[in-house]
Amino acid sequence: MTSCHLVLGAAGLLLVIGLVMVFSASSIEAALADEPAWAPGVQQLIWAFLGLIAMGVALRLPVGFLRRWSPIALVGVAFLLLLVLVPGIGVKLNGARQWFDLGFAHLQPSEVAKLVFALWGAHVLALRERYLTTKSLLVPVLPVFGVLMLLLIAEPDFGAVVTLGLVLVGLLWAGGMPLKWFGGFAAGAVVLIVVLVQAAPYRMARITAFLDPFADPTDGGFQAIRGMYALATGGLWGVGLGNSAMKWNLLPHAESDYIFAIIGEEMGFLGCLVVVTLYGVLAFAGFRIARRAADRFVQLASIAITVWLVGQATMNMGYVVGLLPVTGVTLPLISAGGTSLVLTLFIVGILARFALSEPAAVEAQQHRTRGRLSRWLLPAPGSAVDPVRPRRRPEDRPPRSVRGTGRTVVHAGSALRRAPAEPLPSVRPAPAERTRAPELPRPAEPPRAERPARAGQPRPGRRQPGSGGGPRRPGGAR
């Protein structure tokens, strides 16, 4: 249960920090727009409540259910990514057609695609574990990644492409991909990035602003410079909660993309250190779950989800401090967002569900009594039973007997690899003839008179009682 507590504890603290900082960073902007200052914070609180419900549902989902439905979910997600590109159905915001308008919120199918791809990839690699090679490791995971990547580029959503690549790296690394292949993937990623940057002028502007933000401080480097100023203003202890100056419309997207800069300004370096430490605890718990899990699917999915969440957080904090170019990815569990927060909490619930399937957790459950509150909050630990068996090839199927015929049916593909269908009659060797040992001559018995008397027998020459006559004489006369 330690891994489950680490996941839920770290995610819960990050969620609390996110709610406080979203309320602080968005209150001024809401007030300037003639809205209640508390409205964005309350809206984020409602989404967090819905996310906690989704996390509770994920905690009670069987692992086999996730495996069985992952292929169907992958087809559904690919259809949604195609559907969002249709004008009139997909909503276009900030030059990208990435959302569905649900009336009360906007749904981004690219976020769902990351989770589904992680679960489906872990399912496929777990099925091929018995005869896993480099080719079976790449196919069909890599082609499916290519299809999803093309659909995301068509939106366009470069940040989703990068985070989906993190999921792919986690799957291949956990699956045992040789390191030399990662070098080839890195070279291919560099070529792809160069092509995408050359294809869109705004991406080229982001790269230029990353290399020298002060070359264009009023346009391309404006956001990066304001973010670094916010971190520098906070110092060690920060200026205090609610006292940020950059949230007065000086830092764009202060409540979402650049919320880490507001954390550094109001809570200082120590506040940033707490956030980084909590993500480190989440990473440690995810890898601990993968190391202690007995099911291969749980191992692969745990590593893919952990690399995704922690890698996305690293990218967000990296471009805020100026170490990475701006990609637009949010800070998980902290940045403002509706459906993205619900989905992230659902992912945390899946990771905690994997922790409950550890053999140590299942064994500990048998020797302890849980309270009513514990049973209500967390389900009982249960082993991850693998309900999905790999499809056996004809040569791997055992022979089956036909009732009433005495024959055994063997598949054609296995006729050359298995024993004959009908067993050969066993021929028992003839038993060897028994030879009797030659009988040795018995020693001659001594004369009757010379035999020693036995106990209870009369001695020779003595009359037996009741015989009625004296001793016999030679010749038969008495």
Mean pLDDT of 169-187: 88
Amino acid at 256: S
Give the pLDDT of residue 408.
Answer: 43
Query: From residue 8, how far is each of 3, 39, 76, 260, 436 by CA, in Å?
Result: 9, 27, 29, 21, 85
Burial of 175 from C-beta contacts in 10 A (0-12 / 13-18 / 19+): buried
- Quickly state the pLDDT bin for 458 (edges 50, 70, 90): low
Greatest CA span in the chain, whole angstroms? 160
Give the pLDDT of residue 101.
Answer: 87
- The yes-or-no verdict on residue 474 having pLDDT over 60 is no
Mean pLDDT of 279-289: 96
- The yes-or-no verdict on residue 449 having pLDDT over 80 is no
Nearest to 378 by CA among 60, 66, 48: 60
pLDDT digits (tens, 9 = 90+) for 64-97: 999 999 999 999 999 999 999 998 888 888 778 8
pLDDT digits (tens, 9 = 90+) for 340-381: 999 999 999 999 999 998 887 767 666 666 666 666 666 667
Owner of token pair 């056996």: 392
Give the pLDDT of residue 302.
Answer: 96
Give the pLDDT of residue 339.
Answer: 87
Report the distance separating Cα 187 and Cα 364, nearest Å.
47
- The yes-or-no verdict on residue 469 having pLDDT over 80 is no
Give the pLDDT of residue 137.
Answer: 83
Locate the domains of the chain by residue range: 2-377
Mean pLDDT of 288-314: 95
Report the distance separating Cα 282 and Cα 364, nearest Å.
23
Give the pLDDT of residue 451.
Answer: 52
Bigger pLDDT: 64 vs 220: 64
- The yes-or-no verdict on residue 468 having pLDDT over 60 is no
Mean pLDDT of 61-66: 92
Q: Which residues pair with residue 101 across a beta bridge?
A: 106
Mean pLDDT of 141-156: 93
Choice among 59-63, 82-86, 217-221, 381-385 with the minimum mean pLDDT: 381-385
Q: Share the mean pLDDT of the chain.
A: 82
Give the pLDDT of residue 475.
Answer: 47
Encode 368-393: b = buried (16+ Cβ within 10 Å), e = exposed: eeeeeeeeeebeebeebebeeeeeee
- Quickly state the pLDDT bin for 338 (edges 50, 70, 90): confident
pLDDT digits (tens, 9 = 90+) for 299-310: 999 999 999 999
The two tokens of residue 278 are 């909590």
Size of the chain, expressed as the number of residues it contains? 478
Amino acid at 274: V
Mean pLDDT of 225-244: 92
- Quickly state the pLDDT bin for 180 (edges 50, 70, 90): confident
pTM score, whole prediction: 0.77
- The yes-or-no verdict on residue 410 having pLDDT over 50 is no
Report the distance separating Cα 74 and Cα 217, nearest Å.
43
Give the pLDDT of residue 94.
Answer: 76
Choice among 105-119, 146-160, 209-223 with the minimum mean pLDDT: 209-223
- Quickly state the pLDDT bin for 409 (edges 50, 70, 90): very low
Choice among 7-21, 43-57, 237-251, 275-289 with the minimum mean pLDDT: 237-251
Bigger pLDDT: 354 vs 394: 354
Report the distance separating Cα 59 and Cα 380, nearest Å.
10
